[in-house]
Amino acid sequence: MKIAVTSQGKTLDSQLDPRFGRAAYILVIDTVTLEFEVIDNADNKNAFKGAGIQAAARISDSGAEVLLTGFCGPNAFETLDAAGVKVVNDQTGKIIDVVQKFKQGGAVYAESANKDGHW
Amino acid sequence: MIISIASGKGGTGKTTVATNLALAVKQGVQLFDCDVEEPNVHLFLHPEITRTEPVNAPVPKIDLEKCTFCKKCMDICQFNALAVLKKDVLVFENLCHSCGGCFEICPENAVIEKDRSLGVIEHGSVKGISFIHGKLSVGQVMVPPIIKKVRSYTDPDMITIIDAPPGTSCPVIAAMKKTDFILLVTEPTPFGFHDLKLAVETVRVLNIPCGLVINRVGIGNDEVNQYARKENIPILMEIPFDKKIAQIYSRGEMIIEKLPEYKEKFEALFKKIVQMIEKNRENNGEEK
């Protein structure tokens, strides 16, 4: 299974980026082989509005089935939900640790956004 | 002849100046309250509203039968209002600025125009003044289309006075551009001065003649006066920081109706503005 993780850097040793739409990078990781693809989110990071929507559309394209992140706003959540991507919020720490923990099972999938929209 | 009353800083006295000036002009005057996020002219003049008109803007609706999910609409959208997924397209209406890009670019004609309500404008009249104001609906953020709708009723044979919103962003530009004169209302405080400079920079870009009303004279310092001299902006009127004026305002009354000396002052202000507009027209005529 492929999962997407918001990341401050481009390797599995990077720290998770708690922001979803404005994360520096999004790593799309194969949970079996740990091979991964790096999505550079730089143009989204500086978007005036709607960063989460665009990031969500990219994750939908990447084929990831699950997103691990810190905070996910209402528009992003709506988009991910429509794309059938499950969201696990409140994640922190090194990417590799977060992925290993996810693989052990028991992840709690969000039923709604855990952050208000930006105005 | 169109006169826009603007300020930079909020709460400097735009509405006080706009309403009293409109009353001083007496006849053949239109007063447009273009501070559509929080219009307040009606609280002072109590116009009788005779007609209400909706203001709409187009937003996209996607025909999923025709859509090939090519993402051209999503790519052209500068406001991230569209999300094209594998089998669905989401539209975030509140982010849409109704630029029309997605309608134009769709090769399949799958983007359909749908109306979204932004607010209303209301027509009325009071004391010989023809009055219109705009009201943005709660939850909406797109202001300029409402201001444009109000201004579409400009009568070239009348004196049009616009009460502009504060600030220097898109709504203010919509209330200032293509006017004959911008009357800037400020107060002699550091905040008033700071925002006045931003407002003057905006007016300079629009290249429209301007003059200054300084309200609450007696507080703060004389930085505003020094700046006006340096920038060659005429001070057309000064309103003192006076308890009587504050009381009249608090009761929602008109200064020129309660303090007769202000009738002459506002009439003189209007005359000076007309002279500056005519002089500017002559100068432009000579250049041509």
Alpha-carbon span B254 to A81, nearest angstrom: 56
Name residues whose C-beta falls within 8 Å of residue B152's C-beta, 6 or more positions apart in sequence: none
What pLDDT is recorded for position A17? 96
What pLDDT is recorded for position A118? 62
Contacts of A54 in chain B (CB under 8 A): 74, 80, 83
Closest Cα in chain A, distance from residue B86 (Å): 7
User: Is the pLDDT confidence value at B288 over 50?
Assistant: no
- B95 in contact with A, Cβ within 8 Å: yes
Helix (H/G/I), strand (E/B), else coil: B84:
strand
Q: Which residue of chain B comes nearest to A78, CA vs CA? A: B90
Instruction: Assess contact for B53 and B121: CB atoms under 8 A.
Output: yes
Closest Cα in chain B, distance from residue A13 (Å): 30
CA atoms within 13 A on the CB side of B250: 6
Name residues whose C-beta falls within 8 Å of residue B13's C-beta, 6 or more positions apart in sequence: B7, B185, B187, B213, B215, B216, B239
- B84 in contact with A, Cβ within 8 Å: yes
Contacts of B84 in chain A (CB under 8 A): 57
Calculate mean pLDDT across residues B91-102. Answer: 93
Alpha-carbon span B270 to B146, nearest angstrom: 27
What pLDDT is recorded for position B46? 97
Contacts of B80 in chain A (CB under 8 A): 47, 49-51, 53-54
Alpha-carbon span A16 to A1, nearest angstrom: 19
Average confidence score pLDDT of chain B: 95
Q: Do the domain assignments include residue A116?
A: no
Name residues whose C-beta falls within 8 Å of residue B229's C-beta, 6 or more positions apart in sequence: none
- B88 in contact with A, Cβ within 8 Å: yes
Closest CA relative to residue B48, chosen from B122, B114, B149: B122
* H/E segment holding residue B274: helix B260-287
**β-bridge partners, B261:** none
Name residues whose C-beta falls within 8 Å of residue B255's C-beta, 6 or more positions apart in sequence: B16, B20, B245, B248, B249, B262, B266
Closest Cα in chain B, distance from residue A64 (Å): 12
What pLDDT is recorded for position A119? 54
User: Is the pLDDT confidence value at B111 over 80?
Assistant: yes
Q: Quick one: angle between helices B260-287 and B14-25, nearest 10?
A: 90
Alpha-carbon span B82 to B69, nearest angstrom: 11
How distant, in Å, are the alpha carbons of A15, A70, A90, B143, B231 from that of B228?
Answer: 54, 51, 54, 31, 5
What pLDDT is recorded for position B287? 55
The secondary structure of B224-273 as a DSSP string is HHHHHHHHT--EEEEEE--HHHHHHHHTT--HHHH-HHHHHHHHHHHHHH
How distant, in Å, are the alpha carbons of A47, B15, B144, B238, B253 from that of B269?
Answer: 45, 15, 29, 10, 20
Q: Do the domain assignments include residue A108?
A: no
Closest CA relative to residue B103, chosen from B119, B91, B88, B94: B91
Q: B200-225, pLDDT tens digit by residue?
A: 999 999 999 999 999 999 999 999 99
Instruction: Assess contact for B33 and B163: CB atoms under 8 A.
Output: yes
CATH number at residue A88: 3.30.420.130
What is the domain count for chain A? 1
Contacts of B62 in chain A (CB under 8 A): none
- B222 in contact with A, Cβ within 8 Å: no
Alpha-carbon span B187 to B101, nearest angstrom: 42
Name residues whose C-beta falls within 8 Å of residue B165's C-beta, 6 or more positions apart in sequence: B34, B35, B36, B37, B143, B171, B172, B175
Contacts of A113 in chain B (CB under 8 A): none
- B70 in contact with A, Cβ within 8 Å: no
Residue B79 to residue A49, Cβ atoms within 8 A:
yes
Alpha-carbon span B23 to B20, nearest angstrom: 5
B64-109: in CATH 3.30.300.30: no
- pLDDT tens per residue, chain A (119 residues)? 999 999 999 999 999 999 999 999 999 999 999 999 999 999 888 887 889 999 999 999 999 999 999 999 999 999 999 999 999 999 999 999 999 999 999 889 998 888 777 65
- Parse chain B into domains and list their residue ranges: 2-55+121-287, 64-109
- How many C-beta atoms lie closer than 10 Å to residue B37's C-beta? 16
Q: Find the domain containing A28 and state its range.
A: 2-103
pLDDT band at B96 (very low <50, low <70, confident <90, very high): very high
B74, B87, B92, best to mutate vs chain A, most A CBs in 10 Å: B92
What pLDDT is recorded for position B286? 60
- Please give the CATH architecture assigned to the domain spanning B2-55+121-287: 3-Layer(aba) Sandwich (3.40)
Calculate mean pLDDT across residues B244-273. Answer: 96
Closest CA relative to residue A72, chosen from A12, A8, A17, A11: A17
**Which value does ipTM take for this structure?**
0.85
Q: B167-198, pLDDT tens digit by residue?
A: 999 999 999 999 999 999 999 999 999 999 99
Tokens of B220: 């703060």
